[in-house]
Amino acid sequence: MSKILENTTVIDLFCGIGGLSHGFVKGDFKVAAGIDIDETCKYSFEANNKSTFISKSVYDISKREINELFGNAKCKILVGCAPCQPFSSYTFKDGEKNDNEKWKLLYEFARLVKETQPDIISMENVSQLVNFKKAPVFEDFLSSLKELGYFVYYEVVNCPDYGIPQNRKRLVLLASKLGKIKLIPKTHSKENYVTVKDAIGKLPKINDGEFCKKDKLHFARKLTPLNKKRIQKTPYGGSWIDWSDDLKLKCHKKESGKSYPSVYGRMKWEEPSPTMTTHCIGYGNGRFGHPEQDRAISLREASLLQTFPIDYKFFDKKEKTFSSVVIARQIGNAVPVKLGEVIAESIKEHLNQFL
C-alpha cells in the first residue's frame, strides 16, 4: 500500500452488502465503515471488507459521527449510492407535482458533505437521475458541491465498457477539492465485452429448486409446472413471444403486452446479461432464464454477473438456512464490485496526481 493510501480513509453511505466498498478494498483503500439501514447486510459487509457496519438511517447520522470515523486521515473520501427506487421512471406521471420528500436521501448525502467537507466524493445512482426535470434533486446536488469548492465530474457509464458482464447503465459522479477529476478510460469495447458465458459458463449444471452440493449459493428457485413447460418451450435467446397461445399470460395477448418482449426470456451466452434486479432469480421477472438449462439463474450466477468474487460471503455458514429472497435483493441492490474498482482506480490516479 502506498503512503498516500495509508493516510486515506473511505466511508460508504448506503453500503448494502458492500459492492462499492469491496471495489475500494480490492484497490487497497481502507474502508473505515459502511452505513446502511438494512441490518440484514451486516454479516456480508463485515465478513468481506474488514470494516465496521453501522446500522443507522442516514437521517440520523451526524457530522460528529462521520468525523470520528474519518479520524486523523489526511485524505477523506465519502462515497455512496442512495437507494434508486425514488428515481424510477415509474415515479413520474404526467402532471405530478414536485415533492422533495422523495429526494431526501440524496439531500441528506449533500448535508453530510457540507458538514464534513471530505476531500473526495463519489456518488453512484441510476442513469435516469440526470434527465429528471420535474424534480431538481440532481441539479441541487451539483450546485451544492460547486458552492463548496468541489471540482465535479459525472458520466453515465455503460457497465460492459468496463468489463462488467451486464447491460447496466449507471450515473457515476466524482468530486474533488484537490483539482479536476474524472473516470479512467474505458477498458472494453463491443469486440471484447465480458459475456454471460465468461461469467457463469463453467458453473455446474443444476435443476430448478436444486442446490449445488459444492456451492450452496448456486441455487435456482423451483418453477411451477406451468412455468417449467414455458421455459422448456423457450428457445435460445427467446421469450414468451415464442410460446403457443395456451402458454401465454392474458396480459401478453393484449396489444400492451407486446411492450415487454424480454419477460420470461433466456439470456444469450455471447452477450452481457440484462440488468440484475432485486428479483433477478425469478423466471417471470425479466430475461433471467438460463441460456440452456430449464431454470432461472441461480444466486451464484447473479452474484457473478454483479462481479462479486466467487469467495464473497453472502451468509454465515453457521446458520442452517438462508433466505434466497433476501440475498437476491442484496445482490440486485448492490453496486457491481468491478464498477467499484473502476471508481477506486480513478480516485487513486487522481490522488497520485495531486498528492
Any idea what the CATH number is for the domain that residue 258 is in?
A: 3.90.120.10
Give pLDDT, residue 53.
98
At 348, the amino acid letter reads K
Q: Are residues 243 and 348 in the same domain?
A: no
Give pLDDT, residue 330.
98
Give pLDDT, residue 259.
58
Question: Which residues does the annotation mark as catalytic?
Answer: 84
Give pLDDT, residue 128.
85
Give pLDDT, residue 87.
56
Q: Is the model's pTM score more than 0.75? A: yes
Q: Are residues 209 and 342 in the same domain?
A: no
Q: For cell 460471503, what's the residue?
A: 313
Give pLDDT, residue 280.
97
Tell me which residue of 211, 213, 230, 233 sits closest to 221, measured CA to CA: 211
Give pLDDT, residue 1.
75
Q: For cell 481502507, what's the residue?
A: 30
Q: Are residues 179 and 227 in the same domain?
A: no
d(CA 288, CA 276): 9
Residue 321 φ/ψ region, left for φ over 0, alpha for ψ in the -120 to 50 degree band, beta for the rest:
beta
In 3-state terms the chain splits into helix, strand, coil percentages (rounded to 5) of 40, 15, 45
Please tell me the total count of domains within the chain. Answer: 2
Helix axes 137-147, 104-116, angle to 10 degrees: 0
pLDDT values of the chain reduced to their tens digit, one per residue, 355 residues: 788 899 999 999 999 999 999 999 999 999 999 999 999 999 999 999 999 999 999 999 999 999 999 999 999 999 999 876 555 544 444 444 445 556 789 999 999 999 999 999 999 998 888 876 666 889 999 999 999 999 999 999 999 999 999 999 999 999 999 999 999 999 999 999 999 999 999 999 999 999 999 999 999 999 999 999 999 999 999 999 999 999 998 887 776 656 567 789 999 999 999 999 999 999 999 999 999 999 999 999 999 999 999 999 999 988 878 999 999 999 999 999 999 999 999 999 999 999 8
Q: Are residues 33 and 164 in the same domain?
A: yes
Q: Are residues 149 and 165 in the same domain?
A: yes
Range of the domain at 25: 3-189+337-354
Q: Are residues 25 and 119 in the same domain?
A: yes
SS3 track for 133-163: CCCCHHHHHHHHHHHCCCEEEEEEEEHHHHC
Q: Are residues 138 and 232 in the same domain?
A: no
Q: Are residues 221 and 185 in the same domain?
A: no
Q: Are residues 40 and 155 in the same domain?
A: yes
Q: Are residues 341 and 225 in the same domain?
A: no
Q: Are residues 202 and 278 in the same domain?
A: yes
Q: Are residues 182 and 269 in the same domain?
A: no
Any idea what the CATH number is for the domain that residue 100 is in?
A: 3.40.50.150
